[in-house]
Amino acid sequence: MRARAFGKLSAAAAALLLVCLFACLLLPVGSAQAEGTEPWYYAHEYLDLRENGAVRTEGARLAASAAQSGAEDIVIAVIDTGLDLDTSWVDWRAALVLDEGGRFLGYDAYGVAEEGMDPEEAKKQDNWQDEAGSGEYASDLHGTKVAGSIALTVQAAGLFEHIKIYPVKAAETGTNKFSVKAVAEAVEHAIEIGADVINLSISSAPKYVSAWETGENAERLKAAISAASEKAIIVAAAGNDGADSADTLYYPAAYEEVVGVMSYGVDGGFYSGSNYGPAYDIAAPGESIWSGDHYTTGTSMAAGLVSAGSAVLMLNAETRALSAGAQMPRATVLSRALISAGDGSVSSPDGAEVPVLDIYAAMTLDTSELGGSYLPVTGIEISGTAGKGSVLSASDENALTVQTVREQFGQGKSEVTLTAKLRPYWDADPAEYANIVWTVEEFEKDGEDLTAVAGSRREIGRGEKLTFLFEETGIFKIKAEIAGEGGETFSAEMSFSVAYGQWFGSEAHIVPADFVSSEGYADGSGKVPSEAVCYRSGVSLTITSIEDFDVADVSWYVDGRYAGSGEVFDYRPDSFGEHTVTAYVRLNSEGGSSVPYKITGSFLVDSRSYAEHPYMIPVWCAIGVLILTAVVLLSLSAAKKRAARAAALAAEEGGSADDPVKESPIRKERAVPPPYEPKGGRKKKN
């Protein structure tokens, strides 16, 4: 065995495993039951899993060949409700993937997808354990039962050492409630850890089928399954409503890359509760399968047995490829080989002969003869969605309403997204998809008859996918065509009746013309503008929603006076101030033009001079600074001029304005005599 991302078994663990395996080989199949009871499930004879049966003998040979060639462990990812390790009817340590430390490995995809759990936290055993619950959707340890039936089948084939189980929980803890988002996360994780087989013993309910067909989560799941099918065999239960796939599809079994499993019963006939039809591929025992302490019936158990058979086929193919130095066949080739390996069949309620699982044939099939070549194209189908995800019909005429820009009203734009699928499913060369040609053609209706409009057919795309926007009314057909190897042409088409919608005045507003090309208008997130300011300029106005109607004419009025016509009105105010713009719309109809519809609300145009423009604020500031600077400079200049004149005057008088003042020799300052007082002092007055 070569190491995977989860590591090899330690020497001690490997030794313990061999001891357990040897002990198992000495015990009767289904040793968890008391001696003398019935085998662990009725199909031991149908699948030849008896103690001394051919499968056990061939299994021993395959195990020896796998060990000698160094074949890698085949890992089955069981996407379900988790796994309860406390159950004792299976030797889980021998059955499950272990890390280098001998710890069980698994993953809680539901926790990651729906609860925001960290992916590393999701790998902890406590998070992916299966738990019983209570209530309407209570878990009955469904995942444990499915994984257990797989483990017992592998054990009965003697291949415990080479085929391992990796549990992935995709349901809410304690319930059987799965989400498409969680299943997508689970499949993606299965790809990441390198699973060779992916078991999906789950099935959509009819009322929730659209969640598996359209929408973000469905697209994510389909992309994950498509990617996984290149490397792994994907197996899913067809469901237990006794329904024909021609009436109702059950997913994920109905996805083209998935091996859909029906079930047959104890009597060897088709089980009445199993879904059936051409959407599914193979039948396996599904009635009274041993589940620890009781028997379980349903396509879930049948799918588990097919997953075990798929793992056996994978191990067989890998061993042969390694021994011959050849490449491993594609997973899609092995899926087809698994379905057709045996000779047996069972009649389904629709009269079809359904191939049944043959584990011995899967063990002994010479996979080197399968080859890896693709098969010639034998047909083509198309499917698709419109607007916000409504599913299109391939057989009936699809009604669309012209909506070329907006996405926020009704069902979205009148845009279709179509996908072609080549037959045979899985085995048509992917390179052939580039040769698909898409065309559209218009038709005229004469009573019940359709006649193609001459010259209207044109090519609109190539490849697997097409996106096309209907901008005009009429009856159209979109066709996908591809040429076969023998010169024949295979085609598929869809019909569309495209009409104008009903006029809603609440959706019509006068707006600037550039608003209708904005993202805010397309998705409804933008606020509808109702006014504009013009600075000696004009504004182009239009009306929301008229791009999706057959407009006869539009009349425009400014301040109550007629000002022009047309879907776009280029208005340039001839005076400053506020002006009110209104409009009337008339639509074309079968009996002529309709009465004019007045557009609710008006549009205000405020016409101003350039001087009032906000961009002029820095200009005015700059002018102010210049004026202030000029004043300062002029003041300084005047002061300098005054100083210069003073200097010139002083020079004319023989001096300089800076020379010290000279004292006049004849004009000396006189001393001021003190006040006169008579000798003897002042006389007193009597």
Q: What is the pLDDT of residues 105-160, one digit of tens each?
A: 999 999 999 999 999 999 999 999 999 877 778 888 999 999 999 999 999 899 99
Which residues carry out catalysis? 80, 142, 300
Do residues 158 and 25 make contact, with C-beta atoms less than 8 angstroms apart? Answer: yes
Domain 11-369 indexed as CATH 3.40.50.200: yes
Mean of pLDDT values over 408-412? 66
Burial class (CB in 10 A: 0-12, 13-18, 19+), 107: buried
Distances (CA, A) of 423 to 154, 337, 391, 490: 33, 17, 21, 10
Domains of the chain by residue range: 11-369, 379-499, 505-612
Q: Which amino acid is at 574?
A: D
Asked if 476 and 567 touch (Cβ cutoff 8 Å), the reply is no
The answer to whether residues 402 and 470 touch, using CB atoms and an 8 Å cutoff, is yes
Pair type for strands 510-512 and 474-483: unpaired
Does residue 40 or residue 76 have the better pLDDT?
Answer: 76
Longest alpha-carbon distance in the chain = 172
Nearest residue to 302 via CA among 244, 254, 239: 239
Provide CATH code, domain 379-499: 2.60.40
Spatial separation of the C-alpha atoms in residues 497 and 216, rounded to whole Å: 27
Sequence-ordered list of residues with C-beta below 8 angstroms from that of 406, at least 6 positions apart, any chain: 413, 521, 522, 524, 545, 548
The confidence score (pLDDT) of residue 34 equals 28
193: its two tokens: 């850890």
Are the CB atoms for 310 and 259 separated by under 8 Å?
A: yes
The two domains 379-499 and 505-612 share their CATH topology (first three levels equal): yes
Q: What is the pLDDT of residues 532-577, one digit of tens each?
A: 888 778 899 999 888 888 898 999 999 999 999 999 999 998 888 8
Q: What length is written for the chain? A: 686
Q: How far is CA 423 from the centre of its chain?
A: 25
Residue 74's nearest CA partner among 152, 166, 143 is: 166
Average pLDDT, the chain: 84
pLDDT value at 231 more than 60: yes
3-class DSSP assignment, residue 515:
helix
Q: What is the pLDDT of residues 298-322, one digit of tens each?
A: 999 999 999 999 999 999 999 988 8
Pick from 140-154, 203-217, 359-373: least confident: 359-373
Higher model confidence: residue 423 or residue 21? 423
DSSP structure string for 342-382:
SS-EEE-TTS-EEEB--HHHHHH--GGGT-SPPBPP-EEEE
Burial of 610 (0-12, 13-18, 19+ CB in 10 A): exposed
How far is the C-alpha of 340 from the C-alpha of 318, rounded, in Å?
19
Nearest 5°: phi and psi at 129? -65, 145
Give the mean pLDDT of 444-463.
92
8 has a pLDDT exceeding 60: no
Higher pLDDT pick, 92 / 502: 92
Among 19-33, 406-420, 541-555, 621-635, which range has the highest average pLDDT? 541-555
Q: How confident is the model at residue 662 (pLDDT cuts 50, 70, 90)?
A: low
Indicate the range of 88-97, 132-141, 242-251 predicted with least confidence: 132-141
* Joined tokens for residue 81: 């409700």
Across 75-79, average pLDDT? 98
The architecture (CATH level 2) of 505-612 comes to: Sandwich (2.60)
% of the chain with per-residue pLDDT over 90: 50
